Chains A and B, each alone.
Chain A
Amino acid sequence: MQINSKSFTLRRMVSNRMQRILQTLLLNLFMVLLMLVILLPFYWLIVNSFKTNHELFLDSLTLPKSFQFKNYVDAWVQGLSQYYKNSLIVSTISMTFIIFFSSLTAYGISRFRFRGKTLVFLLILGGMMFSEQIALVPLFKMLTRLQIYNTYFALILPYVAFRIPFSTFLIRAYMLSIPSDLEDAAYIDGYNSWQVFRRIILPLSKPILASCALVNLNFVWNEFVFALVFIEDAKLMTIPIGLMAFKGQLRINYVVMLAGIIIATIPLIIVFSFLQKQFLRGLTSGAVKG
């Protein structure tokens, strides 16, 4: 009797184990297939970016006979370098201003009581609800009138204004979680509110400022609608629009175009694989897509 029940338990354990192994196998099989679907376009992109156009047309699935690094050099020299420079300038300036204005606003809202605070808060927060396209036509008119249409500022100004609501929201939530003891002591020591901001609140908010900067970098670096409408001159185009212009300019030189797509994509993938934790914190504490 005892032996029987023992072997029964043993059998059940074995079958449970089998079931588990089977589940793991099936799940991993499914995941590997899914990964193939995700990775195939990348494989195709990379492989063909090293071919000659002739090879590409013969068969786009095979490996290149010899690696044409020249495609990358051509893509860089024939235009991407200029677009890169523009994107770097626009993103750096935009990010700096976004962080500057948003942390100021977040500090004001999270630390003080004042008349009209609720209104200010609602206005800033409400700014998140409007997509860029709704303001596109009037902004185009406005930027033309201000005579900054077709300059870096035609991008920087809208980027900053449109990203303040989200960024303020993100930073404010973090600042609210900073205990006020340190500040109280600082005020007693004779600090004024600016010194408290500069020397206490900002240093303590560094993690969220980093996250905020990364989420905004992703936005500004990839932004398309404003960049398409507010810039006309190819010398000022950022990467997303530059790629489009590049395509028109190359016509049927496909392999150089493919190399260009890779050059345009690599920096963000590198940045985010190193700073993944910060980026994810920014995304998940205020999820907004592109």
Chain B
Amino acid sequence: MKVKPTTPYFYVLPGLFLVVMIVYIPVLSNLIYSFFRLSSYSAAMSFVGLKNYVALFTDPVLLIIIKNNVLYLMISLITQVGFGTLLAILLESSVSGKASGIYRNILFTPALMSLTAVGLLWQFIYTPKIGLLNSLLRLLGLDSLQHVWLGESGLAMLSIIGMSQWQFTGYITVLMVVAIQKIPDEYFEASRIAGANALQRVIYITIPSVKEQLLVCSIITMIGAFKVFTEVYVTTSGGPGNSTHVLGTYLYQQAFLYDDLGMAAAVGMILLLVTLAISLIQLKMARTGEV
């Protein structure tokens, strides 16, 4: 191809410019902001050194936040990736038959709803008197299990996490179904001739063949668990007390309710470090060929 040496830059620079200006510069600014005290409504900034970080790490709420994000991560990994993959294997197994397409589509439907719509819907579902959950429990005669699901600090976080599992398990299932469908039939054929049973086929053929997709699903689930915001904001906004705060809601609270942008930036830095670490693990595992 004979093009002028400058030509390629005309194609890549507009996109690159936008990404640098609107993604990289703000992320870098966030690092700088985290050492300053500043407000939304004025351009003044005063350097405070590590004060924001000290305030953040001595705030007892941080412990609750980390606990909530980690709980989100663990339950999501088990349900969405673990159970979701199991569902994908079952849907693709020969026993599931013609209905498997219908099952898959139903499972996927909640993932198409916006987080707001799901949050508002589940807020109704968890409503004590008229909500679906308590009404069902009453119908089944399990009145004693009724709760104010989003109003009890011991239950609120688990209730929000439960709602997320309802929304996203089917999403992971669909991603895994597509990966399983890409496995060449000959693999299964060969293992059948060698006398492997269904469980052995899953362990020795299916799982090893889809481990790359499994890693991708685990990574997006882990990163998702740390950047979770809307689910909590719509349902409880961090309450009751501070029991359902996560990094995202805490950042929002500091920035736009308390007008402490420097503190919010420091929270952002934790989020950045965690998501970068997870991404780097993925890169490293992909490169060393472990997956």
Contacts and interface: CB of A to CB of B under 8 A. Distances in A.
B188 interface: no
A41 B1 contact: no
Nearest to A40: B132
A69 interface: no
A28 B90 CA distance: 10
Nearest to B40: A140
A134 B26 CA distance: 8
A124 B15 contact: yes
B19 A57 contact: no
Interface in B78-120: 87, 90, 93, 95-97, 99, 103, 105-107, 109-110, 112-117, 120
Contacts of B161: none
B120 A161 contact: no
Contact of B1 (A31, A131, A161, A183): A183
A129 interface: yes
A170 interface: no
A237 B111 CA distance: 22
B130 interface: yes
Interface of A: 20, 23-24, 27-28, 30-31, 34-35, 37-42, 44-45, 48, 56-57, 59-61, 101-102, 104-105, 107-109, 111-114, 117, 120, 123-124, 127, 129-142, 144, 157-158, 160-162, 164-165, 168, 183-184, 187, 192-193, 197, 218, 221-222, 224-225, 228-229, 239-241, 243-244, 247, 254, 257-258, 261, 264-265, 268-269, 272-273, 276, 280, 283-284, 287-290
Interface stretch (B27-35, B55-63, B66-74): B27-35
A164 B256 CA distance: 27
Contacts of B125: 41, 44
B167 to A, nearest CB: 9
Interface stretch (B146-154, B201-209, B265-273): B265-273
Contacts of A120: 12, 16
Interface string B1-31: 1110101111110111011111111110110
Given A130-B272, A136-B251, A289-B168, A222 B115 contact: yes
B228 to A, nearest CB: 10
Contacts of A228: 233, 252
B246 to A, nearest CB: 11
Contacts of B29: 138, 141-142
Q: Which of A133, A160, A222, A272 has the most CB of B within 10 A?
A: A133
A27 B96 contact: yes
Contacts of A272: 112
Nearest to B179: A284
Interface in B132-175: 132, 135-136, 139, 166, 168, 170-171, 174-175
Interface residues of B, number: 94
B284 interface: no
A158 B8 contact: no
Contacts of A290: 115, 224
A129 B275 contact: yes
Contacts of B233: 224, 228
A108 B8 contact: yes
B64 interface: no
B141 to A, nearest CB: 14
B276 interface: yes
Nearest to A112: B8
Contact of B116 (A37, A108, A113, A240): A240
A244 B224 contact: no
B220 A261 contact: no
Nearest to B220: A289
27 contacts: A34-B87, A35-B103, A38-B107, A38-B166, A38-B170, A41-B125, A61-B136, A61-B139, A101-B14, A129-B275, A131-B275, A132-B227, A133-B227, A133-B247, A133-B271, A135-B26, A135-B27, A161-B18, A162-B23, A164-B18, A193-B1, A240-B116, A269-B109, A272-B112, A280-B178, A287-B175, A289-B221
Contacts of B12: 104-105, 108-109, 120, 124
B135 A59 contact: yes
A226 B136 CA distance: 37
B121 interface: yes
